[in-house]
């Protein structure tokens, strides 16, 4: 890991959100924070961070908060799907994952998937992408992602006003 990855907001993602210092925040959700991913080799990649840095597993949360976290994951997944489908006709689907193998806090990955992905990867887990995709500056979150970032935030806001009866 580089110094930038272990210091500042990257080194303490949840506390940096709580302090208002994490620039990736999209919205505050009921049991966490929707953030856009540092890497955008799959445009729209987002993460739901739990709002308590001491929570390591879904089962660390009481059942009600657990449901709220999963509802937030669903909402962020739907927002990413709607925004990415609108932005790219080659949008295929969204993958949702709670892994917890590398970072010691509860978080959920929201991966948009596209038909333009390499044939050998399009149906495989995102984690099989070459290392360079994760680290190459050409894929780093930047101003070129602002429209998609804004669209995801707008969808999160719109979905917050939608009742479960009003959903597709």
Residue 31 included in any domain: yes
Question: Would 168 be classed as within a structural domain?
Answer: no
Q: 47 in a domain, yes or no?
A: yes
Tens place of pLDDT per residue across the chain (168 aa)? 444 445 666 667 777 888 888 889 999 999 999 999 999 999 999 999 999 989 999 999 999 999 999 999 999 999 999 999 999 999 999 999 998 778 889 999 999 999 999 999 999 999 999 999 999 999 999 999 999 999 999 999 999 986 444 444
- Does 67 map to a domain? yes
What pLDDT was estimated at residue 10? 67
pLDDT at 6: 53
Which contacts qualify for 26-33: CB closer than 8 Å, 24 or more apart? Answer: 26/76, 26/149, 26/152, 26/153, 26/156, 27/153, 27/156, 27/157, 29/72, 29/75, 29/76, 29/156, 30/68, 30/71, 30/72, 31/61, 31/65, 31/68, 31/69, 31/71, 31/72, 32/69, 32/72
Residue 59 covered by a domain: yes
Domain count, the chain: 1
Asked whether residue 91 is assigned to any structural domain, the reply reads yes
Q: Is residue 49 part of a domain?
A: yes
Domain of residue 120, residue span: 3-161
Domain with 113 in it: what CATH number? 3.30.428.10
Q: Is residue 94, in this structure, part of any structural domain at all?
A: yes
- Which pLDDT belongs to residue 162? 66
Query: pLDDT value at position 74?
Result: 97
């Amino acid at each position: 890991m580089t110094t930038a990855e272990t210091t500042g907001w990257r080194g303490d993602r949840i506390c940096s959100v709580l302090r208002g210092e994490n620039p990736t925040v999209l919205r505050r959700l009921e049991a966490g924070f929707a953030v856009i991913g540092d890497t955008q080799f799959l445009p729209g990649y987002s993460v739901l961070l739990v709002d308590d840095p001491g929570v390591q597993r879904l089962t660390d949360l009481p059942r009600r908060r657990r449901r709220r976290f999963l509802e937030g994951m669903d909402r962020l997944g739907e927002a990413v799907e709607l925004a990415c489908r609108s932005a790219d006709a080659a949008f295929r689907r969204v993958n949702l994952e709670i892994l917890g193998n590398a970072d010691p806090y509860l978080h959920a990955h929201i991966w948009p998937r596209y038909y333009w992905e390499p044939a050998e990867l399009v149906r495989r887990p995102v984690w099989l992408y070459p290392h360079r995709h994760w680290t190459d500056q050409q894929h780093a979150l930047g101003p070129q992602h602002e429209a998609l970032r804004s669209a995801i935030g707008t969808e999160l806001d719109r979905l917050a006003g939608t009742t479960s009866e009003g959903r597709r």
